[in-house]
Amino acid sequence: MTGRTTTGSPIPAVREMRWWDIDPVLELEKDLFPEDAWSRGMFWSELAHARGPEATRCYVVAEIPGEGAGEGEGKGPGDGRIVGYAGLVASGGQGDVQTIAVARDHWGTGLGSRLLAELLRAATAFECTEVLLECRVDNVRAQKLYERFGFEPIGFRRGYYQPGNVDALVMRLSDPAAPATPQPPVNGVQGT
């Protein structure tokens, strides 16, 4: 059943990202990362490593189910609206947040927190003992989200984001299995 926030909007469902989600994800990607958007091939390549016993990736999307859409697998494209996505790669006990994004009209509803919580659950399942990420130094909103989960700044990567030569802040969470409890939502609903 699809619930609603107290503001009346449907609560998006967070589920595994599949190949048919790439098109709507690319639309969000171009809007939210106009200078360095990932290509279709990059998402295909990531999803190729997200299934099976040798999987090293976890990619999720947040979808507002369309009319008549059921839960879970077996659906095709066009069933609902994709309003967020996130991905993590795990290797050698270390997780890396590759991407996380939420449609602008859903910012501040707790969806970024839900997606990040899902990635940390995946990191725990991959038996990661730490999770790292890079974030533009000027992206204060994202940094606040990460800090609420217990990520701490550990350094900079100079000129990491091109074009623009913008530095990256590197952040680290030492134990993804026990993240700091994020602040509860003010006027919405959290949880998957």
Q: For residue 143, what are its two tokens?
A: 């940094």
Q: Should residue 142 be labelled a site residue for ligand COA when binding is judged by CB under 6 A?
A: yes
Q: How far is the CB of 48 from ligand COA (least distance, A)?
A: 23
- Which whole-number Å values give the CA distances from 191 to 12, 42, 73, 159, 188, in the listed order? 10, 29, 20, 36, 10
Query: Within 13 A of 137's CA, how many CA atoms are on the CB side?
Result: 14
Q: How far is the CB of 141 from ligand COA (least distance, A)?
A: 5
Contact 176, 95 (CB under 8 A): yes
| 75 vs 108, beta carbon nearer ligand COA | 108
List binders of ligand COA among 103-122 (CB under 6 A): 106-113
Q: Total residues at the site for ligand COA (CB under 6 A)?
A: 23
Q: How far is the CB of 54 from ligand COA (least distance, A)?
A: 27
Q: Should residue 82 be labelled a site residue for ligand COA when binding is judged by CB under 6 A?
A: no
- Which whole-number Å values give the CA distances from 55 to 23, 47, 52, 61, 147, in the listed order? 22, 9, 5, 17, 28
Gyration radius (Cα) of the chain, Å = 16
List binders of ligand COA among 7-36 (CB under 6 A): 32
Kindly report the length of the chain: 192
Q: Should residue 6 be labelled a site residue for ligand COA when binding is judged by CB under 6 A?
A: no
| 51 vs 140, beta carbon nearer ligand COA | 140
Footprint on this chain of ligand COA (rule: CB under 6 A): 32, 100-102, 106-113, 135, 139, 141-142, 144-145, 183, 185-188
